[in-house]
Amino acid sequence: MSGFDWERDYALEELLQSVIAVKEFPNKIARVINGLKPEDFDKTYRDGSWNVRQIIHHLADSHMNGYVRSQHIIHHSADQIQLFHQDDWAAGLGKDFHHEASFMILLGLHQRWSLLWLECLKQPDVYLTKSIYHPELDRHVSLAQFMVFYAWHGEHHLEQILRATA
């Protein structure tokens, strides 16, 4: 999770922009991957990195976890999140599956996730300060921080796909 600033506070407008970014993310990734050839999904953005297919699977895995974490924050503030070891998942049994299933997950998940977050933005005093403990970061992370993080996270990995396929 390096590269993301967990120390900032976020204005409501920034949070709304993050929700919109999460909602629109599947459309952005679709525009990129629809033009790729089958062999492009095996390309990496640097030596030793995940290939494009693994990045797409990672986005589905990570964002499913992010959605569940959001629900835990909303309903069980201050509980500890369930960790998932992204490198193990990326190298695991499903690493060579066709990317389409993971893309379809992103499509439905991001629609539901953005609607959930929009509901939370309607009552910022109730939801945006709720947090959950993240042991890898050794800190509590608020719902507002998760909103901005996952918008950033999608763009971060989309840039990797673009570099790999340039």
Q: Look up the CATH number of the domain holding residue 115.
A: 1.20.120.450
Residue 39 in domain: no
Measured distance CA(148)–CA(66) in Å, rounded: 12
For residues 107 and 26, the answer to whether their CB atoms sit within 8 Å is: yes
The Cα–Cα gap between 77 and 81 comes to 10
Rg of the chain (C-alpha set):
16
pLDDT tier at 2, thresholds 50, 70, 90: low
Q: Is 122 a domain residue?
A: yes
Give the count of domains, the chain.
Answer: 1
Q: Select the more confidently predicted residue: 93 or 49.
A: 49
Whether 17 is covered by a domain: the verdict is: yes
How much of the chain, in percent, has pLDDT values that exceed 70? 98
Answer yes or no: is 44 within a domain: no
Confidence band of 7 (pLDDT split at 50, 70, 90):
confident
Domain of 26? Answer: 12-34+51-165
Q: What is the pLDDT of residues 69-103, one digit of tens each?
A: 999 999 975 678 888 888 888 888 787 788 999 99
Return the bridge partners of 133, or none. Answer: 80, 140
Average pLDDT, the chain: 93
Q: Residue 27: inside a domain, yes or no?
A: yes
Q: Is residue 135 part of a domain?
A: yes
In a domain, 22, yes or no: yes
